[in-house]
Structure formats: C-alpha cells, structure tokens
A and B are shown apart, each in its own frame.
Chain A
Amino acid sequence: MLELKNITKKFGEKVAVNDISFKVEQGKIFGIVGRNGAGKSTTFRMILNIIEPSNGTCMYNDAPIDNKVLDKIGYLPEEGSLIPTYTVLELCEYYGALKLLSEKQVKENLIKWLEEFNILEYMNAKIKDLSKGNRQKIQFIISVLHDPDLLILDEPFSGLDPISVEELKKAILKLKEEGKTIIFSSHRMEHIEMLCEDLLIIDHGKSVLQGNLKQIIDTYVINGTTNHNLNEIFIDKVGSLDE
C-alpha cells in the first residue's frame, strides 16, 4: 500500500505540489488527472525519491521509500528516457543492471515482453530508428523489466495509436491481475475511466477532487443532475477553481 501524507513541494517561491494526500491499496489502479503543469510528474518524482518533498511523507507498505524499496517500483517517465544511440537490448541491459538483474534475466524478460507487443524484430535496433509508439512500448517494457510490485506510469498513452493503446491497456490489466499496484497519470479522461478504480484530480498543485471513480460519477452534481462523465466533471471542477 502506498500512502502519501500532506506532501508539498516548493521550487523557490513557486508551489508545485500543495498538500496532497492519498492512499493506493495493493492490487488497484489509481489515476491522477490534471492539466499540463498541474503537478503530476512532480508528485511522481517525490514518490520515487528523485526530488525531496518540502513537506510531508511518502510511505510504501508503512516504510519510507529508500533505494531498497525503489527496486520494487517500476517507473515510466513522461518523456522519452531512452539514450538514442543504444540498441534496445543494450539499453535494457543497462537499466536491468541498475536493478541488479543478470544479463540472462534481462534477455528472457525482454523477449517475453517484446513478443507480447509483437515487436520482437526490434531487439537489436537502435532507439533512434524506432517510431514514437514503439519507443513508448520499449519504455514501458523497461519499467516492468524487473517485475516490480508497484508501477508508476507517467502519461503512458501519449503518442500511441489506438491499436497500441489497446495493447498497452491489455498489458496493464494483465499486470493488475497479477496483483501489482499501478498508478498512472493522464490528461485524457477516457483512459482514466477505462482503467481506474480510484482517482485524484489535481490543479495548480492542489487536490481538487478525489475518491472512488464510481462513487464520484454517481454522486457528483452538475446543474442538479448526476451521472455525468468524467470529462464533464473535470471541466466543471477545474473550471470552477479558476474563478
């Protein structure tokens, strides 16, 4: 279980993340929604201990997140985190080495996942020769290469065509069945509606709305009616914050 308590991050005067708290139960999918620059990536970076929060704590299974815990977390950064001059295999070997995987393990897992996405032929291709969609898939593979318990995906669907989105969705659901905890962010409501059980809407670093997706859709009232889709709720909520 991942738990964030009153987490805040300030960059100088600017408050990037302001007093956010949430809990993610084991084996569930949690979505974070917000516009660009709302503080999603900063929140993830704080969970991953890349940047230190100005205030508040992050706990995974009631323990602070140190490097040992990080080895059980998989992370898909928002933008391409692939060194363009390496081949897919070389890169996976490097990142695998960082998670203490042997070359053999890396190769086995890589082949398994490349087959899953039907791109086995790209194993020895250089990253710079791959299409954007395939790069995103490779990035996803890298984040699950070491079989993590908690998966953090920052905008996993960006730049993917509809078929690839389906493939990725399938892979995520499969991981969920295996009992993995998954957190992902998006600014596209349909992806959230598709996958998440719980969600958090943030805007300007502040938590605007959070809770169970079904409950929110059932109870959120716009113009006296309920049962609106998430997109309408988001526009209503984030719009109202601007006023």
Chain B
Amino acid sequence: MNKQKIKEIVKFSIKQNIQNKWFVGFNVLLLVLMILFANAGNIKEFLENNNIQIFDDEVAIEYVDPNNIIDHKLERMFAKNEKVTVKKVSENKYTPKNIKDNVLIVEVDKDEEKIIKVKITSKEGFDSAIYDDIVEVLQECRSEVFAQTLNIPEEKLEILSTEIPIDRVMLAVNAENSEQKQSIQLVSTIVVYMISIFIFSKIANEIANEKVSKSIEYVLTSVTAKEYLLAKIISVTSVVLIQAVFTLVYYMMGNLISTAILMLQGYEPAISASQVMATLDADVVLYICILFVYSVLTLILLSIIQAALSSKTTNMSEAGNSMTFLLVVTVAVYMFTFALINPYTNMSALIYILSCIPLISNYFVPAIMIIGQAKAWQIIVSLVLLVISIPVAFNKCSVIFKNGVLDYSEKKTRKHKVRKELTLKEEQALKLEKSKFRSLALVLGLSMIIALVLQILMQVLLDVLAYPVFIKFMNKEQIKFLTMGLVSMLSLAGAYLFVKVYIKKDETKEAPNYSVLDCLKMFATSIVFTGLLQWIIIYAQAQWGFRNTAVYETLNVPGLDNFVLQIFFVVAIAIIPAVFEELFFRKGLINLTREYGDKFAIVVSSFLFAVIHLNLAQGIFAFFMGIILGTLYVKTGKLRYGMLLHGINNAYAVFCQIFGSCNWDIAYNVVTYIGKGLFYISIIVVILEIIRKIRAKEKLVIPEGKVIPANAKYILTDYTFVLGTIFVAVTFWTTEIMLNML
C-alpha cells in the first residue's frame, strides 16, 4: 500500500468536508444548541422569575357535587394557582350557546358499578396540565368513596395502587454499579448509533458521488481499491472525530457560561465532568473502556461493510437506501440483545455463541457483563474474532467494492433460463434417461416393500407355526429374540437377492484397492464420527427429552441372566442386523443406485435405512449412521468394515444391557472402557493421520538439505509456540481477574 497516497486522499477528503458551508452551519447550530442545553436550568429560572407563562388564560372551574364527594379537594389542588378559580355550584346551567371560553364544569355523582360517575364539560380543549390535575383529584375521591363503602381505612387501599416493592439481590452482581452500567450502555448505544448514521451517510454519499460522476475510474488508475477504501474510512472517521472534539468543546463552553451565570448570582458552581469521573468505581471505568473498544472496532467493521454496499449503488438515492439497511440491522440486533439478555437470564449455549460473533458481540458482551455472567474466554474470543474480522472484511469488501464500483448497469437483468431446443436424438436420450430413473425408483420401492412384507409374513408364520413347537423347550423371551433374528435375517436377505438381480456391474469403474492398514484408518475415522453421533444423540435425549423409546423397549428384557437368552439377544440384535442390514442397504442399495453418483447412492440408501426403522427418533440416528456406514463402504470398497462398525455399535448397547441387568459391574465397566478406549484411540489415529498428511505435503516444498527436527521437539523448542502459550495463559488469567473485579 502506498502510504503517501492514502495520506493525500485523507487530507483532501477532510479538507473538503470541513471547508464547507454545511459543516460550518451545522457547527454554529450545534454550538447554539449546546449552550442552550447547558443553560436550560438558567433559562427556565429566568422565565419563571419574570412571570412569563405560556398558558396565561384564566380558567374557571365549576363543580356540581350533590353527594359532597369532592369535599374541597379541587380548591386545595388549585389553591396556589392564581390563574385557576374553583367554585361549587348547584347545577350545570350551560348550553353550547351560553358557555364561556374559559369555563370548565365538573359533574360528580355516585354510581353503583363504577363507584363514581364524572362528566367534564368545556367549550373547547384546554391546558392538559389542569385536566391531569383534575383527574388526579377525582381518582383520589373514588378511592375514598370505595374505602367508605368497604369500611376499610383509606391508607390501606392506597397500597394496592402502588408497585410491589421488591428487594432483588444477586450476590454475584454489584447492583448499584449494574444500574450505572446499564445507563452507560444505553447512552453509548444511542451515541454509537448517532455516530453510525453520520459515518454511514458520509461514506455512502462520498462513494456514491464519486461513482455516479464516474470519477472513480480515474481514481482507480492512481490507487488500488484497497488504498482508496482505507483512505475513505480513515478520512470519514477523522471527520467524525473532529466533529466529536468540536461538540465536546461546545459543551464545555456552554457549561462555562452556565457556571459563570451561577457564580454571578452568588451560587457554588455545579460539579464538573472530571468530578463525576472521580466518583465512578474502578469497575465502571473498566466497563466503559471495554464498551469503548467494542464500539470502536464494530464501527470500523460496519463502515467497511457500508463502503462495500455503497459501491453497488448507481444513483444518489440508492446511496441513502444502502445506509438504511445497515442501520436497521444494527437496531434489530440491539432489540434482539435486549430481548435475550436481562438480569434474570440463564446463560445458554446460544447466548455464548452469539456473544462471540462480530457485529453482535458489541451488544451481547457488555449486556452479559452487566448481569455479571461474562467469562474470560468469551471476551477474549469475541474480541479476537472482532479484530480478525476487520482485515478479513476489508479484503473481502475491497474485492466487492472494486467489482461493484465499476458496474454502472442500473438493474441486473435476470437471465431467463432459455429452454434449449432439443434435437430429436437428444430428446430420445432424455426420455430414455428418465425411464431408466423411473425403473430404478421402482426397484428401490419394490425392494423396500419386499423387505417389509417378508418381515411381516415371517413374523406371522413363525408365530403361528414355530411358536407351539419352541415353547416346549424355550421360554417366551428366548423365542422372541430367536424369531426376531430369523425374521430380520430372512427378510433382508430376500430383499437383497431381489435387488441383486438389478445391479449392473460397471466394468469401467475399478474397485478401490486399499491396504488393510489404510482401510483400518478409514475405519477409525468412522468410529470417531459414530462416537460423536452417539454423543449428540445422548445429549439430545438429556436436553430435549428426545427419547429413543423403541430401542429402550427392545433392550429392556427381563431375565437377561439366562445364558441361552443372552446368546439369542446378542445374535438377534448385534450380529444379524450388522451382517444383513449391511448386505442389503450398503452392498445392495448403494451398488444399485451408484450410477447416479456415490453421494446420491449413500444418501438414498441412508434414507431408506432410516425409513425401515419406522420410528422418528431412531430414524434420524439411522440416517446419519447410514451415511457414515455408506461412506465407509464406498471408500474402502469392502463390506466387512461396515459390518464390524455396525456390529460394534449394536454390541456396545447389548453388552451394556446384559452386564447392567445382571449387575456384573466389572464386566460392565470393561465394556464401557473398551468403547471409550476405542473412541479415543480412533481420535488419536485420525489426528496422527492428519499430521502425517500435512507433513507429507510440507515435505514437498521443503528445500533439499534442510533438516527438520523431530516432531515433538520441533514444536516444543519453537519459541513462538512457547511465547504463544504463555501469552494465552496470561490473557486468560488477567481477564479472569478483571471479571472478578466487576
């Protein structure tokens, strides 16, 4: 980047912005407003002392009160107000013709339902302050009448109309400072929003101006898009900064005048801003600092995005529209934060994740800090992401900017997809393709029907024919699992035999030929995925009650201490499904649909695998499991690994169930340790494999003769690693201390 050029553009841009009648006019206005604002108290006092009143019409209130409900309360209310006279009269004698401008008639009477009944008559509208006072008096009267009818003292009744006083204590939160922080956040949000409007409109206008006048083309022959974008952002931010300093000066001038007036009148001067700062607690100051960092970084990020958006405009009115978009988004995010986080919020994973995302974090993290639930990692991660996002957004946006700023076309005409004219031959081919696909779908559907029908048929047959025979030397549970095993074995085998007829062998495609070691590595990867999937399912069950009742019912078998039953149980649930489901769904269905691509085949087979479970909870798990198993089959080209994985997955649950229900604690623990161990070993294998692959890639670019130290030694002796670790640790530690301070 050419710093000199950026400096020149910034200089020119600032000059243009400041030597400008609008800037001068705006500042004069701001100065006047600031002086008025700082002296509001003095002005009010001046007006009051000189008896200058805006509503100086005299008002005569007359009230009709046969039951003496008001009891001179109105007279007391307006006793100090010289402009208002109150008089009790016996009746309302006014008609629209004879009523005077300044007369108000209040008629009050008792009422069965509403306690009291009121009618207020006047010729026209009148001062709303007087009206509000009358209403207040009448409300008091009503309570009094109500209390009288119920025979309770009036004071007790008043309690009902006040808010419930709640002593809310949160021991982790400094409540006093919390309030201060809340108001600081509100003020900062408003200030940041005002500044964003200012910055966005400046950026949008300047870029649109240069684009619409097409001078950008000349500019881009002198500087790169990146340099230009950077210069624009710096110059606009500087102008805003200058304006902010000016505003501060005006405010101080206004304060000075106000203090001078007060001192002339012999009063003590009011407290200054520095005195206010001194009264703030250290943690509030810290909070302001963090808020400031977030605001500044977010503003920079937003102005980059605004610049990219402005480059897409083709006329000046669009420049305004592009601004609205970002402003609405920022307000929406603020509202969202407001809705999500309040002192009674229980932090959830969603809020933690949201609080780390740039553009949102500047609202979320301060809000979470107020309720005292911020964590060190949260602040660090969100800040790091915010800082990283700035150059990333800058690079991305400068590309968008460069493409957008040279595109002068008013509207992108949407390309209509022209239907290609097909020749007769192409049309025939298309039809053939379609019919082929249709017959494939038919085979798929039929295979599923065959599997289901066979299942039902076998079940009925075994129940009717075999049950009476088996019952003589087996118990009910044993027969149940025996039939279950036989049914699934035969139905799946039948469906597979049907599908096998339609599988076409693709001679051109060579079966993958990996060594056993490579296959085992893939197998390890699949185990990692399966473990993660299991973990998610368990988490989902615990979190959302997503219970897999079907599996639970199948596994929950009484009398599992019977050895024969145990064997049937293992065979029917762990071994047969592993072998035959793999055979049908993987070997059968994947090979059948593979001509439309491996991914298509895997997804289709997984979907059908999910459907055949006839249960939503189990189906979802089965679908993802199907994808893992299908991928393993396609990658290795061998069915045995899938069978093994499927078997292990089922066997784990089966053995846990058996040992659990028999109270064989040691065996149970061994099984769980084996399961976990397999998972961790697989993770290690996968990580090692990834490292090996990266190193293999690195080896290609390392020049000859250069010696690479051994892996672990290399990392540990590298000073950047050591420094980085120390840095991370120190950052976490200090942030944790900071948070404890809050």
Could you list which residues of chain A lie within 8 angstroms of chain B, going by C-beta atoms? 45, 48-51, 67, 70-71, 73, 75, 77, 79-86, 90, 93-95, 97-100, 142-143
Contact = CB atoms under 8 A, between A and B. Distances in A.
B209 A70 contact: no
Contact of A100 (B4, B16, B218): B4
B214 A142 contact: no
B215 A82 contact: yes
B12 interface: yes
Interface in B228-251: none
Interface of B: 2, 4-5, 8-9, 11-12, 16, 209-210, 213-224, 406
Contacts of A45: 217, 406
B214 A94 contact: no
Given A50-B406, A82-B213, A99 B222 contact: yes
Given A82-B215, A97-B5, 9 more contacts: A45-B406, A75-B218, A77-B214, A77-B218, A79-B214, A83-B213, A83-B215, A85-B209, A98-B219
10 contacts: A51-B406, A70-B222, A75-B217, A77-B217, A82-B213, A82-B215, A84-B213, A98-B218, A100-B8, A142-B218
Contacts of A82: 213, 215
A143 B214 CA distance: 14
A73 B218 CA distance: 11
Contacts, number: 68
Contact of B222 (A71, A79, A83): A71
Nearest to A95: B218
A93 B215 CA distance: 14
Contacts of A84: 213
Given A50-B406, A98-B222, A90 B16 contact: yes
A83 B221 contact: no
Identify which of B11, B213, B214, B224 gathers the most chain A CB atoms within 10 Å of its CB: B213
B2 A80 contact: no
A67 B224 contact: yes
A86 B209 CA distance: 11
B209 A83 contact: yes
A100 B6 CA distance: 10
Contacts of A50: 217, 220-221, 406
A83 B224 contact: no
Contact of B221 (A70, A86, A97): A70
Given A67-B223, A85-B209, A98 B8 contact: yes
A143 B218 CA distance: 9
B213 A98 contact: no
Given A48-B221, A100-B5, A142-B218, A83 B406 contact: no
Contact of B12 (A75, A77, A94, A99): A94
Nearest to B403: A51
Nearest to B19: A90
B647 to A, nearest CB: 53
Contacts of A80: 213-214
Contacts of B209: 83, 85
Given A50-B406, A98-B8, A100-B4, A75 B221 contact: yes
A98 B9 CA distance: 7
Nearest to A90: B16
The 8 A-B pairs at the shortest CB distance, nearest first, are namely A97-B8, A98-B222, A81-B215, A81-B218, A77-B217, A83-B213, A48-B221, A75-B221
A142 B220 CA distance: 14
A86 B19 CA distance: 12
A77 B214 CA distance: 9
A11 B9 CA distance: 31
B406 A98 contact: no
A94 B14 CA distance: 12
B215 to A, nearest CB: 4
A84 B209 CA distance: 9
Contacts of A73: 221
B205 to A, nearest CB: 11
A97 B6 CA distance: 9
A97 B11 contact: yes
B394 to A, nearest CB: 18
Contacts of A83: 209-210, 213, 215
Contacts of A71: 222
A49 B224 CA distance: 9
A93 B218 contact: no
B235 to A, nearest CB: 12
B213 A81 contact: yes
A97 B11 CA distance: 9
Nearest to A70: B221
A109 to B, nearest CB: 16
A98 B4 contact: no
A81 B224 contact: no
Given A98-B222, A100-B4, A81 B406 contact: no
B5 A93 contact: no
Contacts of A143: 218
A97 B7 CA distance: 9
Nearest to B231: A98
Identify which of A85, A90, A97, A143 gathers the most chain B CB atoms within 10 Å of its CB: A97
Nearest to B16: A90
Contacts of B210: 83
A67 B2 contact: yes
Contacts of B214: 77, 79-81
Nearest to B206: A83
Nearest to A49: B221
Contacts of A67: 2, 222-224
B232 to A, nearest CB: 13
A71 to B, nearest CB: 7
Nearest to A76: B218
A82 B217 CA distance: 10
A85 B4 CA distance: 26
